[in-house]
Structure 1
Amino acid sequence: MSNFQKHKNHDTYFVPGLFRGLRVLEILAEHEAPMSTSELAREMKISRSSAFRLVYTLNYMGFTQNAKGSQDVELGGRVLNLGFSFLASQKMVQTARDDLKTLRDETKISSHMAILESKEVLFLECIQSKSGHLSNVNVGRRMPAYQSPLGWILLSDLTSRKLMALYKDVEMIQLTDKTPNTPNMLVNAINKAAETGIVVSYGAVGKDGISISAPIFDKDGAIIAAIDISGPNAAFDMNVIESFYIPNVEKAAQNISSRLGYIGNS
């Protein structure tokens, strides 16, 4: 178990089914060979039918799989994907942190880094402003990519056809009248982001908020993350959006991309 402190309402918050599913993964990781459902049931002190349902669910999600030529169970590729994603995101945050702090210090605005997970933006880092205008975004927060200028940048590697297919049946809820609420509106916002390489948003997420977002590239030129500065209108000097804030965000994004191996269009 972790050293996470048990909450006074532990029995209310704790999800036994999730706990058992994760224990299956731990047990398989510790075992040197695939295990049968009966072996898992004995190890976990649960019924074979309960173990079967856990394994079925994990198989369905790709976290476990049946060993070749057997009904025994072993870890699936999705576990490895999670591990690689975790290590990659940790490296990215460590690489970006100093530049995000510099960006915050120079602009006096909170800075953030996010990645795309499926159709959601996942925030990996938040460097809070030292002024009174604190960000309401915490590390680990998720939001629909279509609602966020960071998301528009992160989706900009996709073709218009793929974007239309991705959001064909999605109910798109507006946060403000600037938030795209149809696939066509989203495609237009994303195409503009791809064309300019930066998104300056006035009120897309919050009515009285501003954000300036830029992409982070890997060594192959793919967009793997995005950064921004964002806060209420009062935190910004409107007279220097173009001459001060945008260049600082672009500089930070370029520095981070360079540290991750990107050498630009050469």
Structure 2
Amino acid sequence: MNAAKPSDKNHNVYFVPGLHRGLRLLELLARSNETMTVSELAQRLELSRSSAFRLVYTLQYLGFLTTSDDRTFQLGARVLNLGFSFLAKQDILQVARRDLEELRDLCGISTHLAIRDGLDILFLDCIQTRTGFLSNVNVGARLPAYASPMGWVMLSELPNRELIALHKEIPFEPFTEGTPSGIAELMQLVAKSSADGYVLSHGVVEQGGASVTAPIFDRSGNIVAAIDISGPQSAFDQDKLDSFYIPAVRDAAGKISRRLGNAGN
């Protein structure tokens, strides 16, 4: 969970540590591809086993966790209800869906819509290709913004000083050879995405993958989201990257931006 800096002088009085630990536990399970035992949760959260057990018991009682026969835990249906309630309030979903579907049909590649949530990008929609390779990105999935072309596009909204401050204490863990190694390289990639108005990537998030990404602007000219087409490099006609795929993605992003009231894209 991306911790915000305390904004109130009474932070230590108002802050609820137990709630914080419970939310950290939920986010840990959300990021994990596997179920986890109480002991594993305690170790990852640096808590005693008894503290972790009380958190798990409470969250399971409330329906936020479920357990299996091997006494491992995963997110429960009540978490999904919260997530779906959040997604239902994102007007951009309704605005973008038609254009994402048309882009998918035009290119024959899965399309995605994401927003930036602090240090992460959060996927709001995935329109699966009708043929070929299906996307392995699910709605609600997160990626570090520094390690994703969609993140670079959305981080270009920030001034350099804010970009540096945001990543000051963040380790740049490599996903692939295309992951920036530090803030200086990230700033170069962000600046290039801003100058070009898109990002064409090869093997950045996954080895052998490719994507074309473009920003979505609101009526005030702010970048509020990003879309892409992404899949294995074999799904792309490499001779048509500049002449077809990039213009198609930018055109779809422009349509969505105009639906949001932006006159300049």
Summarize deviations over 1:127-174 as a string: whole Å, max 9, x none: 001122111101000111111000001111111111111111111111
CA contact (8 A) 2:123 2:139 kept: yes
Amino acid across the alignment from 1:192: K
Partner of 1:107: 107
Instruction: Give the percent of matched residue pairs that are identical in Structure 1 and Structure 2.
Output: 46
**Which structure 2 residue ranges, 5 or more long, are not aligned?**
1-34, 39-54, 65-82
- Seen in structure 2, the aligned counterparts of structure 1 residues 86 and 138 have a Cα distance that, compared at 3 Å, is closer
Task: Determine if the alignment matches structure 1 residue 92 to structure 2 residue 101.
Answer: no
Partner of 2:189: 189
After TM superposition, what 4+ stretches of structure 1 lie above 6 angstroms from structure 2?
19-23, 82-85
Q: Please, which of 5, 13, 17 is the counterpart of residue 58 of structure 2?
A: 17
Partner of 2:245: 245
Summarize deviations over 1:41-73 as a string: whole Å, max 9, x none: xxxxxxxxxxxxxxxxxxxxxxxxxxxxxxxxx
Partner of 1:263: 263
> Based on CA coordinates, which of the two structures has the bigger radius of gyration?
1
| C-alpha distance in 2 between matches for 1:17 and 1:117 | 27
- Seen in structure 2, the aligned counterparts of structure 1 residues 176 and 141 have a Cα distance that, compared at 3 Å, is same
Amino acid across the alignment from 1:190: V
1:85: how far off? 6.5
Partner of 2:200: 200
| C-alpha distance in 2 between matches for 1:156 and 1:84 | 29
| C-alpha distance in 1 between matches for 2:248 and 2:86 | 28
Question: TM-score w.r.t. structure 1 length?
Answer: 0.68
| C-alpha distance in 2 between matches for 1:22 and 1:263 | 45
**Which structure 1 residue ranges, 5 or more long, are not aligned?**
1-8, 24-81
Partner of 1:146: 146
CA contact (8 A) 2:87 2:124 kept: no
| C-alpha distance in 1 between matches for 2:220 and 2:85 | 18
1:86: how far off? 4.9
| C-alpha distance in 1 between matches for 2:87 and 2:197 | 27
1:252: how far off? 0.5
| C-alpha distance in 1 between matches for 2:223 and 2:158 | 10
| C-alpha distance in 2 between matches for 1:168 and 1:132 | 41
| C-alpha distance in 2 between matches for 1:151 and 1:143 | 8
Amino acid across the alignment from 1:175: F
| C-alpha distance in 1 between matches for 2:215 and 2:241 | 18
Amino acid across the alignment from 1:231: G
Summarize deviations over 1:67-106 as a string: whole Å, max 9, x none: xxxxxxxxxxxxxxx99965652x1111100100000000
Q: Secondary structure of 1:215's partner?
A: strand
CA RMSD of aligned residues (A): 2.6
CA contact (8 A) 2:176 2:206 kept: yes
Partner of 2:73: none
| C-alpha distance in 2 between matches for 1:83 and 1:241 | 35
| C-alpha distance in 1 between matches for 2:138 and 2:118 | 19
Aligned residues: 196
Q: Secondary structure of 1:214's partner?
A: strand
| C-alpha distance in 2 between matches for 1:96 and 1:127 | 11
- Seen in structure 2, the aligned counterparts of structure 1 residues 119 and 93 have a Cα distance that, compared at 3 Å, is same
Q: Secondary structure of 1:151's partner?
A: helix
Partner of 1:116: 116
| C-alpha distance in 2 between matches for 1:167 and 1:144 | 11
Amino acid across the alignment from 2:58: G
| C-alpha distance in 2 between matches for 1:86 and 1:101 | 18
| C-alpha distance in 1 between matches for 2:138 and 2:231 | 13
- Seen in structure 2, the aligned counterparts of structure 1 residues 20 and 211 have a Cα distance that, compared at 3 Å, is same
1:17: how far off? 3.1
